[in-house]
Amino acid sequence: MEFSRGFFQAVCDYCFLLEHDYPQKSMLKMVGDRYMLRSHERVMLYRGLAKKQQVEARQQKFIPRIPAFARVTLDGFNVCRTVGSYLNGNPVFVGMDGYLRDVSELHRKKLKWEVLERAVDVILDFLKEKKVGSVQFYFDSPISHSGKMCEMVREKMKEKEIAGDAETVFSPDDALINRDKGVICTADSHIIEHSRVPVFDLARHLLREKFSAQLFSFPEYLADKACL
C-alpha cells in the first residue's frame, strides 16, 4: 500500500488532535488537506486511529483464538464486507487497536453478490474448522439485501452442517452488546468498547491464516517511529 509523502506526519498530527479532543471530522479535513492525503488515507486515519485510552480498552476485549465449542455471534455485514473487500482486492488494514478495518466500508461501496457469497463460504469453513459450538449472524435490517444475506447464510450453514442461525435486526450493535455468553466477532469500535463478552477479530485471523495476507498495520508502522 503506497502513501503520500506527508502521511506519517499526518498520522502524528491527527493523533495529537485526537488526544486533545478536537472534533474528529473537522480535524480529518484539516489534516487531510494540509498533507494532501488521498481519500483512502483519510479513511484510514478516521477508522484506524483512536485515543490511547480507547485503544487500551478495546485491546482488553481482544482474544487471540476462539475457544472450542464456543457460541460465536457475528456482526454480519461488518465481518462479511471486510473479508469480501480483501477478496475483491480492496484495501484493508489493522488499526491502532489491533482490529482489521475496511477502507471502502465508510463509503458504503457495494460488493458483488458472488464476492459476498465467497466471503460467507470462507468464514463458515474457518469457523467449522475451529470446531465452534454454534454460530449466530446478525444483519442490519435497514440495509438492502439483508434478508437475502440471511437466506444465503442459512442455506450454507445447513450444507456445511453448522449449528446456528442468521437474523435481520434493526440494530446489530445492540444485539451484540447485549450478548452475555460466548464470543462476538466484529471490528466495530462502539460494539467492542461496550461488549460484555470477549471479541475475536475473525476477519484478521482468517485472512492471515488462510490467505497469508500481508496487511498494513498501524502498530507495526509506528513501532520504530517517533512523532516530532
Q: What is the distance of C-alpha 227 from the center of its chain?
A: 26
CA 120, chain centre distance (Å): 15
Cα-to-chain-centroid distance, residue 186: 6
The residue written with cell numbers 455468553 in the block is 181
pLDDT surpassing 60 at residue 134: yes
123: left (phi over 0), alpha (psi -120 to 50) or beta: alpha
pTM: 0.94
- The model's pLDDT over 51-88, given as tens digits with 9 standing for 90+, comes to 999 999 999 999 999 998 999 999 999 999 999 999 99
Q: Is the pLDDT of residue 107 over 50?
A: no
DSSP 8-state assignment for residue 198: -
Read off the pLDDT of residues 5-21 as tens digits, 9 standing for 90 and up.
999 999 999 999 999 99
